[in-house]
Amino acid sequence: MSDTKVIDACNTFCPGPLMELITYMKQAEVGDTLELLSTDQGSASDVPEWVEKVGHEMIGSEKVGEVWHIKVRKAK
């Protein structure tokens, strides 16, 4: 099993969850999975939009309590 890097971006407003994901995506290797934790409602739509546009792979997105867990695999 490959490790999933968890990025805790809960309760942050600047630079915000998507910026955090982009930061860690740059540091990751192709094939790595990142799990973004976010309390920002916008993340549920913002993150998939970016992932699709840039060409990475959405693995899943679910809300547990108040926290969105969004999993993305680096594809390029």
Partner 1 sequence: MRILVVGGGTGGTIVANNLARRLSAELRAGKVTLTMLSASDRHMYQPGLLYVAFGQMMPDALYRDQASLLEPSIEFHVDPVKHFMLDEQKVRTGSDRVFGYDVLVIATGSRMVPEEIPGLVEGSETFYSEAGAIKMYKALRNFQGGRIALVVGVPHKCPIAPVEATFSLHDFFKARGIRDQVEIKYHYPINRIHSIENVAKWAKPEFDRMEVAYETLFNLKEVDVANRIIRSEEDTEYAYDLLISIPAHRGMAVIEENQLGQAGWIPTDRHQLTMAGYDNVYVLGDTTNLPVSKTGSAAHFEAEVVAENIASIVKIGEPVREYDGKVYCFIEAGHDQATYAMFNYQNPPDLKPANKSMHWFKMSYNQLYWSSVRGLL
Active site amino acids: 14
Output 4 or 11, the one with its CB closest to partner 1.
11
User: What string marks each residue from 30 to 49 as x (binds partner 1 by CB under 8 A) or -?
Assistant: ------------x---x--x
Output 28 or 59, the one with its CB closest to partner 1.
28
Identified binder of partner 1 from the candidate list 1, 2, 3, 13, rule CB under 8 A: 13
The three-class DSSP label of residue 63 is strand
Give the Cα-Cα-Cα angle 68, 69, 74 (nearest 5 degrees). 130
Helix (H) or strand (E) holding 71: strand 67-73
